[in-house]
Structure 1
Amino acid sequence: MELNNIHRIYFIGIGGIGMSAIARFFNAKGVTVSGYDRTATALTRDLEAEGIRIHYTEDLAQIDREANLVVYTPAIPATQLELVWYRENGYEVVKRSDVLQEITRSLFAITVAGTHGKTTVSTMIAHLLRHTGYGCNAFLGGISSNYNSNFWSSEKPVAVIEADEYDRSFLKLNPDIAVLTAMDPDHLDIYGTEAAVQDAFIQYTANIKPNGTLLKHHGLPRGNELKGDNQISYSLQNDAADIYATNIRMDNGGYEFDVVRQDWLIDNVRLYIGGMHNVENAVAAISVAHLLGIGNEKIRDAMADFKGIRRRFEYLVKNDRVVYIDDYAHHPEELRALISGAKSLFRGRKATVIFQPHLFSRTRDFAEGFGETLSLADEVVLLPIYPARELPIEGVTSEMIAGRIKGPEVTIMPRDEVSGWLKDRDNQLVITAGAGDIDLLREPLKTLLAKQ
């Protein structure tokens, strides 16, 4: 697959966050881009506004029969009509990860992997490189609030790529700088065991190009097995790491802090998004910018201008009476960082967490962890499990989590009943969390809580 030889490209599942970034990459290069997705969304409408033709029914009359490359997402079933037709008629059909593999071979690649934090860290890095004028092509797993996009292009032969561990697709990437944020067990429906998850992340580091760099979270399990000619560790505040933050001060829902390395210091960094875990994410992003030779003043200015990512500790309402935060958190450790970070910033407010479990298998595997983490809240609302790609598992429901929550009052209700239940709240911290369709509550709750 030679990227410069592609003139027409067709995407099956074009509306996915990762697929749409690659579609935008080719569209920016002047390639004729079209595709299919099951549902029209705000993201697909944006793609159409950018000149990409999309249809929403499996229809062989609307496909591009002149395409010289067809890209599909693993979320698409093998029986999908268009996918079957392209395969049976001899087209070059590849996964999204195959395209990203070629991009990492062709460009100086900075990839960010890990069970938590990868979207934020990759977006921070890409923002730093863009804001400072260094330049990069960004392939992100979330919508940057600064640019309202998950992709931007640059003449600079540099790519920042979020490396997704689902379906082991990140093992095809060949980075120059690899970031590894966490190795907690997740996607056990794919990997089976925690050890297999760890094995995959170790293999990810083995794919770093010769003389490349691994930037790893300090204290990762089996950290001594990680590969890479040059290894640098980072941490929130642990001074045993090579790079860490110190002198952290909370400031109006954000933070000021210094970043320290043995031979380097950048002081008075300002980050105007919440969550101490985002300070740690910023340490990782700043470390990459420093590795690339970007100066302190440019880094400071860029971090102060970072507006966050849609559904990552995103403030939808913040006033004297109510704070409303929405987040994609769908793993116990992500929820822990979200709830504890929000409560530390807004002490004295009653914390109501509205959580939608994502996947039956994840609920079954992590019910204890979800129960323990949600016990940090003052009040919990559980929505029914969002199935995504799975069929129901007998006995696995939101009640599995509810029965393990100790302390807070717990209510289980359908999504469309939440707005009526949440009326007339004051001095409140409201958090919605989950990776399913709970995001459909964002605008109704934002309107409701902003009026109160």
Structure 2
Amino acid sequence: MNLDNIHNVYFIGIGGIGMSALARYFHAKNKRVAGYDKTQTDITDGLESIGIQVHFKDSVANIPDAFLNYDTTLVVYTPAIPKDNMELVYFKNEPSFTVLKRSQILGIITENTYCLAVAGTHGKTTTTSILGHLLNECNVPVTAFLGGISENYNSNLILNGTEVSVVEADEFDRSFLTLSPDLACITSMDADHLDIYGDASELVKSFEDFSKRVKENGKLFVKNGLPLKGITYGIEDSSDYAIQNIKIEKGAYVFDVNTPKTTLENLQFNLPGRHNLSNALIALAMAVEYGCPHQQLAKALASYKGVKRRFSYHIKTEDLVFIDDYAHHPEEINAVHQAVREMYPEKQVLAIFQPHLFSRTRDFADDFAKSLSKFDNILLLEIYPARELPIEGVSSKWLLDKIENNNKQLINKSEIISKIKESKAQIILTIGAGDIGEEVKHIKQALSVAS
């Protein structure tokens, strides 16, 4: 498919983080862009602010007339959209229209570029944003599609040219099998999305299939310990790319990196947590293999600020710290806990968690309970359903009963602020991939006024 012949791009689910990055990309390419989403958010407000039309009622009547011409219109949808969505049904029932998934569009965009793809059940968004930032700062003509809002660019799209692309290789719905990267990495293969895969072995097989998508002369990087062959990376081990001599100075990591050819000394990275350090390492390794100068990479790594909702500080004082994180899998919660304990070993921590999906809560209930039990205090919200209907017997109360910590409570979102104010904790965490992120600004405002 030749995207140059497309004049209009219509998005069903335009407010999704990956969809909105594509919408911004096509808008920057001077295409007419519009779309539907069920909820108005900061993301949709941002799209409208640059001239993209967005509406919030699922109705064919709301589709702008210009997008009803099948000769010039491409329709893009996300698998998160229900199959009975009226607009999606309309376009799919009109065989003249080209209707493609977001992942298929990424496949088309990247097939004619030098593509760097980041796969893994955890760490994709942060790693992709670090990698995009490193290449951009090294003046590489790159387009990076991010699964989160970069703090450096206040956007989920880095657009500095079209010769090189950086993408998240998403295992959900096996989307990453549309890609054919030149350089790819796999950060992790923990069980997830079992509503799609059925069991963990099928998920592992999909990563094996993805590894075979790397081009013939390309390179695959894998975290040390994963059951795949490739260039290895790890922390304080004998990997091909290995971080050594880690120190913490003024809240930042300072370390060396052994590469297959040399050692990069005294690198600085400002995000806390060993998981983020691992993400920084693989992004650095891919940028080195691409050919970026070491000195420029060191400077770029030190200037990286992070991704919104990935261990994002909203209040950081001696007496009170408020951090928000997107973690929605037990291993991600463990990573958040490790980072907090490493940076604030003596302080009391209150974690407010909103489970995401009934199926994920069911599949990992015992692991969630174990992860959450590590915090000093736990406030649990009701499950955010996203694309799912309730599952009998699966509820936040059911999960709460499994948590082995007496300082736990099930609350409504309306109670968050009052419960925080009652707490004596000095570290406040909001955790989850649902709409808990919408509460952050209210919590920050309430705590700022209180202090």
Task: Give the structure-1-normalised TM-score.
Answer: 0.95
Please list, as runs of the form range in 1=range in 2, the aligned pairs for 1:22-421 lying within 5 A after superposition: 22-63=22-63, 64-66=67-69, 67-89=72-94, 90-220=96-226, 222-224=227-229, 231-239=230-238, 241-421=239-419
1:134 Cα deviation after fit: 1.7
1:426 Cα deviation after fit: 5.4
How much is the aligned-residue C-alpha RMSD, in angstroms? 1.4
SS at match of 1:143: strand
Q: More deviation in 172-181 or 396-405?
A: 396-405
CA 1:408/1:109 → structure 2, altered by over 3 Å: closer, same or farther?
A: farther
CA distance in 2, matches of 1:408, 1:431: 18
SS at match of 1:348: coil
SS at match of 1:142: strand
Whether the aligned pair in 1 keeps the contact of 2:81 and 2:387 (CA below 8 Å) is no
CA distance in 1, matches of 2:83, 2:402: 38
Q: Quick one: which amino acid aligns to residue 48 of structure 2?
A: E
SS at match of 2:139: coil
CA distance in 1, matches of 2:391, 2:347: 37
Whether the aligned pair in 1 keeps the contact of 2:370 and 2:404 (CA below 8 Å) is yes
Q: Quick one: which amino acid aligns to residue 73 of structure 2?
A: N
Q: Quick one: which amino acid aligns to residue 310 of structure 2?
A: R
Structure 2 gap segments, 5+ residues each: none
CA distance in 2, matches of 1:439, 1:253: 25
CA distance in 2, matches of 1:19, 1:334: 24
Q: Quick one: which amino acid aligns to residue 420 of structure 2?
A: L
Q: Quick one: which amino acid aligns to residue 247 of structure 1?
A: N
Q: Quick one: which amino acid aligns to residue 140 of structure 2?
A: Y
Question: 1:10 aligns to what?
Answer: 10
CA 1:257/1:167 → structure 2, altered by over 3 Å: closer, same or farther?
A: same
SS at match of 2:68: coil
Q: More deviation in 291-300 or 247-256?
A: 247-256
1:271 Cα deviation after fit: 1.2
Structure 1 gap segments, 5+ residues each: 225-230
Alignment coverage as a number of residue pairs: 444
CA distance in 1, matches of 2:434, 2:421: 23
SS at match of 1:403: helix
1:245-285 CA-partner distances (Å, limit 9, x unpaired): 11111233321111112321111111112112111110001
Q: More deviation in 78-87 or 58-67?
A: 58-67
CA distance in 2, matches of 1:161, 1:264: 28
Q: Quick one: which amino acid aligns to residue 216 of structure 1?
A: V
- Taking only the aligned residue pairs, the percentage that are identical comes to 44
Whether the aligned pair in 1 keeps the contact of 2:115 and 2:182 (CA below 8 Å) is yes
1:427 Cα deviation after fit: 6.1
1:101 Cα deviation after fit: 0.9
1:397 Cα deviation after fit: 1.1
Q: More deviation in 419-428 or 406-415?
A: 419-428
Q: Quick one: which amino acid aligns to residue 248 of structure 2?
A: M
